[in-house]
């Protein structure tokens, strides 16, 4: 897939990155009606309108309220609606109730966004706020991706299969008859975690040493074609392939294919379309990824193994989000892009990790329980947002995000 000029210029000033990020979030929702933007399909997902509002609440709460002289809240009742999980910021509505917010309307939320974006101009170029502004930009980019995956799940509930974007998904980059290919690594002691220069989330550090054994990481993501072979071979009905929790999940929920599969079709942001066999498989759980790896005679990589390979690859390469267009996996040999890749590593703190002081310290550390690390980036990740040290994380049963896998093996 040809790469267009990134909408978010990572080398630009913070003020420009701020404006480009805000503009992109709004452009992605331009085709949505107020009803589209209000619905919530499950507790894990949030309405598009809520994402637009929550990211605005973040700027108003952590920058304007605290640092802009004379600034008054746009509406003193709205923080209760749009705080996500920051206990230090007080009470809030239940996560499962976000889809009940018919008011404020989408128009009112967009007016609030414009007000806050304009008010932020007084703070954007002040060095004292640079770190917090960089965090706010990264936070909104995260919600840009969440908005896309959440609205996809919401539209999927409609029997009409409505499209958010026109057109059809581009065909994948077929690997043809080429061998899978492997990135080889000799093992040894490596440095893990974000370097001191440049932005990183708190959970990416501190840097520390890790010992890894020799291993190999596949050059390509597992495809829909390979997944169809797994299904045909009884993958979802062979208990010996599954972790105990995974097998219980399969039986309880009647799982027999990735999310959004129906016969030979797949649901996309462009509606229902024939499933491309050469595109990377996406919308799978950790349980499914682990079972497939076992079936394939391989395994999932650890997060340290993935990062050891990723350190020599461009995080800006691959199929990622460049503008207000439908995200879709396309394949190829890029390590980053297409889908977030499950590792077998539990999401836990690194040695000497301490959360940041204040409310923003609730950002990542409080979720280090019962989740697994994913690496890379997806077709819905804003280009420039990810890096080799980036630690995405989800619970093992979740699969509404663009999640897939890349096989690993011992050498």
| Cα 89 from Cα 91, distance rounded (Å) | 7
| Cα 188 from Cα 185, distance rounded (Å) | 9
Count of C-beta atoms within a 10 Å radius of residue 66: 13
The parts of the chain modelled with pLDDT lower than 50 are 1-6
Q: What is the dihedral of CA 362, 365, 369, 374, to 10 degrees?
A: 110
Q: What is the pLDDT of residue 176?
A: 62
Q: What is the pLDDT of residue 5?
A: 42
The burial class, CB within 10 Å (0-12 / 13-18 / 19+), for 243 is middle
**Are 360 and 132 within 8 A, CB to CB?**
yes
**Are 18 and 133 within 8 A, CB to CB?**
yes
Count of C-beta atoms within a 10 Å radius of residue 69: 5
Q: What is the pLDDT of residue 6?
A: 45
Q: What is the pLDDT of residue 403?
A: 98
| Cα 60 from Cα 27, distance rounded (Å) | 21
**235 phi and psi, to 5 degrees?**
-55, -40
Q: What is the dihedral of CA 144, 48, 279, 2, to 10 degrees?
A: -50
Q: What is the pLDDT of residue 139?
A: 96
Q: What is the dihedral of CA 377, 382, 388, 389, to 10 degrees?
A: -110
* Cis peptide upstream of residue 206 (ω within 30 degrees of 0): yes
Residue 332 to residues 85, 278, 327, 384, 403: CA-CA distances in angstroms? Answer: 37, 10, 15, 19, 16
* Cis peptide upstream of residue 252 (ω within 30 degrees of 0): no
pTM of this structure: 0.95
Q: What's the topology of domain 182-410? A: 3.90.1580
Q: What is the pLDDT of residue 401?
A: 98
Q: What is the DSSP string of 281-292?
A: P-S--HHHHHHH
Q: Where are the domains of the chain?
A: 14-156, 182-410
Any idea which residue has 């331009």 for tokens? 30
Sequence-ordered alpha helix ranges (H) in 262-373:
286-295, 303-310
| Cα 342 from Cα 326, distance rounded (Å) | 23
Q: What is the pLDDT of residue 355?
A: 85
| Cα 204 from Cα 226, distance rounded (Å) | 33
């Amino acid at each position: 897939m040809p790469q267009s000029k990134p909408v978010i210029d990572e080398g630009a000033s913070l003020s420009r990155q701020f404006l480009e990020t805000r503009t992109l979030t709004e452009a992605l929702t331009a085709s949505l009606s107020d009803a589209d933007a209000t619905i919530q399909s499950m507790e894990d997902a949030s309405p598009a309108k809520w994402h637009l509002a929550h990211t605005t609440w973040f700027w108003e709460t952590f920058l304007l309220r605290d640092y802009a002289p004379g600034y008054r809240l746009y509406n003193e009742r709205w923080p209760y609606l749009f705080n996500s999980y920051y206990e230090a910021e007080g009470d809030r509505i239940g996560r499962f109730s976000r889809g009940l917010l018919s008011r404020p309307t989408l128009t009112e939320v967009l007016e609030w966004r414009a007000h806050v974006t304009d008010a932020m101009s007084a703070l954007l170029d002040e060095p004292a706020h640079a770190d917090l502004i960089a965090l706010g930009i990264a936070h909104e980019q995260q919600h840009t991706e969440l908005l896309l995956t959440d609205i996809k799940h919401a539209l999927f509930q409609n029997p009409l299969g409505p499209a958010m974007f026109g057109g059809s998904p581009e065909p994948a980059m077929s690997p043809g008859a080429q061998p899978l290919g492997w990135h080889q690594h000799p093992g040894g002691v490596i440095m893990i975690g974000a370097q001191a220069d440049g932005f990183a989330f708190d959970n990416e550090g501190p840097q520390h040493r890790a010992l890894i054994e020799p291993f190999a990481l596949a050059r390509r993501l597992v495809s829909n074609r390979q997944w169809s072979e797994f299904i045909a071979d009884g993958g979802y009905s062979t208990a010996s392939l599954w972790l105990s929790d995974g097998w219980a999940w399969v039986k309880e929920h009647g799982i027999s294919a990735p999310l959004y599969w129906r016969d030979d079709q797949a649901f996309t942001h462009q509606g229902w379309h024939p499933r491309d066999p050469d595109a990377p498989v996406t919308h799978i759980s950790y349980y499914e990824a682990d079972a497939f790896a076992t079936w394939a005679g391989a395994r999932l990589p650890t997060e340290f193994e993935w990062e050891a390979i990723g350190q020599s690859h461009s995080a800006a390469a691959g199929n990622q989000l460049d503008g207000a267009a439908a995200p879709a996996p396309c394949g190829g040999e890029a390590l980053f892009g297409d889908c977030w890749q499950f590792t077998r590593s539990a999401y836990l703190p690194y040695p000497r990790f301490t959360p940041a002081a204040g409310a923003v310290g609730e950002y990542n550390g409080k979720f280090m329980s019962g989740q697994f690390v994913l690496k890379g980036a997806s077709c819905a990740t804003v280009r420039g947002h990810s890096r080799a040290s980036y630690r995405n994380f989800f619970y093992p049963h979740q699969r509404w995000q663009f999640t897939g896998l890349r096989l690993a093996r011992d050498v």
